Chain A
Amino acid sequence: TYNTHTHSLSLLLTPTHTIPFTLSQMFGIRSVVRSRRALWCRTPHSLPWRSPFLRARLSSTSTVAAAAAATTSSPTSASLSADGLSFRTIVGLEVHVQLNTETKLFSAARTAFGAPPNTQVSAYDAAYPGELPVLNRRAVDACISLGIALSADVHSRSHFDRKHYFYPDLPSGYQITQQTHPLVSGGKITFRVQSHEDRVAKRPAKVKTVHLEQLRLEQDSGKSLLDHHPSLRFVDLNRAGVPLIEVVSLPELESAQEAAGYVRELQTLVQYLGISDGSMDEGSLRCDVNVNLECTDQRSGSSFRTEISEVKNLNSIRHIIYAIDYEVERQMELARRGEVGRRETRSFDPAARTTALLRSKESEVDYRYMPDPDLPTLVVDETHIDQVRQSLPELPAQRETRFREQYGLAEHEASLLVGQLHLANYFETLWDLVSHKSTLTSPPPLSVNASRLAHWVSSEVVGRLAKERLTFGENPLRVEELADLLILLERGSLSALNARTIADQIILQGDRRSVIQIAKEDSLLLIQDKEQLAAFCRQAIEANPDNVRKYHSGKHQQQIKFFIGQVMKESKGNVDPRMIPAVLTEVLDTEYESK
């Protein structure tokens, strides 16, 4: 509504307000309006979030900020009365990482993704009486390795608890988790806070460290399918009992973008450790967010906090951002009315990008935690923890440092590649191939430009895959082929345009020929044969006798440039432009001497 516009608007423009959006944090309050307008006017399509509040605010901002008369003026913009409240967002995350062990946490049933419903269920998973849990050792090792990678404390003694509630996809009526004495506690994650636009525009990222409360091992529940029938619920127990590690952070995050950065870093880390795909699409990583605000009255200095609301089961980074933004706004509205709200559990509606109440404190479930009597204390000795520590693979931070030192890549180049394990691996394989192949060319061996390789991998290839909606696993451009392509490019046998054309052929058109085949058969190779080049030079020279005279009269630079252009025209751009000057000069000097 109109009033909502201006009400929020007045908050926005008053300098005393600290708006809990990344932009204001990055650019400073004074420039908020200008930069906001600049960013949003320039790229209205690439907004990272579109809450109904913001949409309204958008149009108002861009017009009010304009000095000239606006299309829709807001008469009450003059009443920028300060509510006098400044807000600080407080976010805590609980991320559930589904492990990629072969079998479940307490039974030997398989865990493969995408199996037909109820085909990976043991008697224990279905809670048949008489069956008992047997702990999966690999799951424990996975949790230990994650704990070590996060600089946390791995406890030598921990135990499992039962968390009770009735639900069809929880066959035994309880979930086995670690409530009081988890395997790992403490630890911290360091990550970059940067939106995708910032990263692509190569703006430096803010680095933040968030401390963790604990990592706990627990069982996943089955799946309830509610869309298959109007009144019946279908239950698939394939997922029941699959191991999860729940990573619980302290409430040190301060914005939706920070939360996004945290989750991305965690995704990367678990991929590198090889303990999980970390894929939110496939459900191997899920997130619950806890959001509240600290509201300070600017005049009196007193502050209060709104009640924490928990939004459950967010399964994409975008949803996390939308949900946090919506919650922040909802709680800001409450706070302005002087209310603190209630402690709530909420669900997220992806279509409307809003959250809705699931449960309030009054109808909170009492889980009746009880130590699980079927599982003795888990004892992990120091030597075992050391063994796990020794066998950790290279972690993202280490790899990034190595990419910068070993390949001389810039920070943003390295971080783009390292951010996804398969990209980094692809890059390194590509480098090895190109280095090797470049020594085979004669003469002399080419220098390999790491930056160009990085650009090709993270921009050219990834960009095309995104266009075709292919995952990296479905990439048709094999690394050997890309190596050939880049060697041809370095050698000058291909123009940049033609190289991209070949890439298009393979990725976008699904052409299955090799790079060399395409280049030859489609006549994309540049002419590097001296004789042919000389012929073109002669054609150009003969067509422009005046310029020859000018050349011989001393205007070498200028005329060479002119003739290069002419040679390109004659050859329709199919010659290696780097070779033209030398050949041209030779031809001019030897065959067309000054008359």
Chain B
Amino acid sequence: RSVEQSSPSSPSSSSTSSDCDKIPRNPWSTQHVCGGSSAGSAAVVASGLVAAALGTDTGGSVRQPAAHCGVVGVRPSYGRCSRRGLVAYASSLDTPGVFARSVRSAATLLCHMSGPDLADSTVSRRSTTGATPLHPISVPRTQTHLADNPSQPLNGLVIGLPAEYNTRELDPSILKQWELAASRLRDAGAQLREVSLPHTRHALGAYYLIATAEASSNLARYDGLRYGNEELAPLSETRSLDEQIRAYRSRGFGDEVQRRLLLGTFVLSKDLYDNYFEKATRVRRLVSEDFVRVFAAEHSADASLEASSSSARTAAGVHVLLTPTTASTAPTLSEVLSRTDPAVEYLADVMTVPSALAGLPAISVPVGMCTRRQLPIGLQVIGRRFDESTMFAVAQTLEDVSGFKPLFAQS
């Protein structure tokens, strides 16, 4: 099957829709779309055209299409990989992300992409909690990656199941997969614990305020005066500067992008800043603190899970969280095009946004199919900040125990 690789007019929407004639179709069913915004990358990996692909995950732009297309999609911790070279959308949320057909491939690729870069001031050289060096990512071995007990690879690990992710809108087939996966991981030796992240329902609002505000700032440079598509609004000697810029931006940005830019600009205006943008940043901190509270303390200098002993893992906290990646499977093209309320599209991000706000690493692993619609389902493993290794270990086990059959065999 052929898939049209196309990119949206700007890296923003949840469905990569509405602004282009060519919308990437889901390789599993061309009636359906891939999600967004890195839909093209997800589609080409799922269809076997490439072994892996890159994307940018801001609020779930890599994980969501990965789940919809049945591939692995990883978002590293904020500050793990350099953002230099990335077309900036929301600078405090953007991270480069990886699509692959296996957890191991994704981890390998991410390993090579991470590390300090003098050109990016937001890349960490140290872990946030102190002088311990950044934990390097250890790529999980195919089968047993922990020396202790081959049949119980996750022995000693505590996996949290946040109650707030069991939403009313959650598709029953996805809920079933989530429960199934949890029990399989328990069989693999992990302890399960139900946890609460009470500010989850506020995360989406905060995200949209912060992301659109930062986007309105980062996209201000596209005024057509120094570079761009000359055809959109050719330089004219009779037009005033304002008219020139307005013409270029109105024609160059699609409706959804313009909507977000307007929202972002509005939210930063002098009268509203305190009540909207600043409040959103405070909510963001509350969301982050939710995670900090449920996670176990940072482990010791020994980076890999293999090396650390059980005593280092406190009984009080969890090591990773397991949640669905999306509330539903991939929508159909007609569904997307007939949407009148843009907010519906935003709701698709509700599972992926909180971890993005907190700067945590997260990976979407395909675990099964929705039998009714024949569309893949992905689950999300969220790790501690800079602890991609544990996250990958759990993801690898999840992949092993789920037995998901990709669309095309691994190359």
Contacts and interface: CB of A to CB of B under 8 A. Distances in A.
Interface of A: 126-135, 162, 164, 166-168, 171-174, 231-233, 235, 366, 368-370, 373-376
Contacts of A373: 90-92, 122, 214
B217 A370 contact: yes
A370 B120 CA distance: 19
B226 A132 contact: no
B67 interface: no
A370 B214 contact: yes
Contact of B220 (A135, A164, A231, A369): A164
Contacts of A162: 217
Nearest to B90: A373
A368 B86 CA distance: 24
A130 B120 CA distance: 10
Nearest to B214: A373
Contacts of B120: 132, 374
Contacts of B122: 132, 373-376
A533 to B, nearest CB: 77
B180 interface: no
Contact of A366 (B86, B223, B225, B270): B270
A366 B269 contact: yes
Given A133-B121, A135-B121, A171-B226, A370 B268 contact: yes
B221 A134 contact: no
B156 to A, nearest CB: 35
Interface string B240-278: 011001000000000000000000010011100100010
Interface in B330-375: none
B86 A166 contact: no
B121 A129 contact: no
Contacts of A233: 241
Contact of A129 (B88, B90, B270): B88
B237 A232 contact: yes
A369 B84 CA distance: 23
A172 B121 contact: no
Contacts of B220: 164, 166, 172-174
A172 B88 CA distance: 12
B209 to A, nearest CB: 12
Given A130-B86, A133-B121, A164-B217, A368 B237 contact: no
Contacts of A128: 227
Nearest to A133: B121
5 contacts: A131-B119, A132-B84, A173-B223, A373-B90, A376-B122
A368 B91 contact: no
B69 interface: no
B74 to A, nearest CB: 21
B20 interface: no
Nearest to A168: B225
Interface residues of B, number: 34
Given A164-B217, A173-B220, A370-B214, A132 B87 contact: no
The 4 closest A-B CB pairs, nearest first, are: A173-B220, A373-B91, A368-B268, A373-B92
> What is the interface of chain A mostly: helix, strand, loop, or mixed?
loop
A232 B273 CA distance: 36
Interface of B: 83-88, 90-92, 118-122, 213-214, 217, 220-221, 223, 225-227, 237-238, 241-242, 245, 265, 268-270, 273, 277
Nearest to A232: B237
Contact of B245 (A127, A166, A232, A374): A166
Contacts of A173: 217, 220-221, 223
Among A126, A130, A369, residue most surrounded by chain B Cβ atoms (within 10 Å): A130
A129 B217 CA distance: 12
Given A173-B221, A374-B121, A129 B87 contact: yes
B84 A172 contact: no
Given A164-B217, A171-B226, A231 B85 contact: no
A104 B243 CA distance: 32
Contacts of A127: 221, 226
B96 to A, nearest CB: 11
A232 B240 CA distance: 10
Given A368-B265, A370-B214, A370-B268, A375 B121 contact: yes
A129 B219 CA distance: 9
Contacts of A370: 213-214, 217, 268, 277
A130 B277 CA distance: 24
Given A173-B223, A368-B265, A130 B88 contact: yes
A373 B122 CA distance: 8
B226 A126 contact: yes
A366 B265 CA distance: 10
Nearest to A128: B227
Contacts of B92: 373
B267 to A, nearest CB: 9
Contacts of B277: 370
A162 B118 CA distance: 21
B266 to A, nearest CB: 9
Contacts of B238: 231
Contacts of B223: 166, 173
A426 B349 CA distance: 70
A167 to B, nearest CB: 8
A40 to B, nearest CB: 46
B395 to A, nearest CB: 28
Nearest to A237: B226
Contacts of A374: 88, 91, 120-122
A174 B88 CA distance: 14
A373 B268 CA distance: 14
B365 to A, nearest CB: 30
Contacts of B213: 370
Given A128-B227, A171-B226, A366-B269, A376 B217 contact: no
A105 to B, nearest CB: 13
Contact of A231 (B90, B225, B237): B237
Among B83, B121, B242, B273, residue most surrounded by chain A Cβ atoms (within 10 Å): B121
Contacts of A235: 225
A129 B90 CA distance: 13
A366 B86 CA distance: 29
Contacts of A131: 84, 119
Contacts of A172: 220-221
A129 B215 CA distance: 13
Nearest to A167: B241
Contacts of B90: 373
Given A128-B227, A172-B220, A134 B121 contact: yes
A209 B120 CA distance: 42
Nearest to A172: B221
B341 to A, nearest CB: 27
A468 B91 CA distance: 55
B238 to A, nearest CB: 8
B121 A171 contact: no
Contacts of B84: 130-132
Contact of B121 (A167, A174, A231, A376): A376
A135 B119 CA distance: 10
A184 to B, nearest CB: 21
Nearest to B88: A129
Contacts of A164: 217, 220, 268
B206 to A, nearest CB: 15
B257 to A, nearest CB: 15
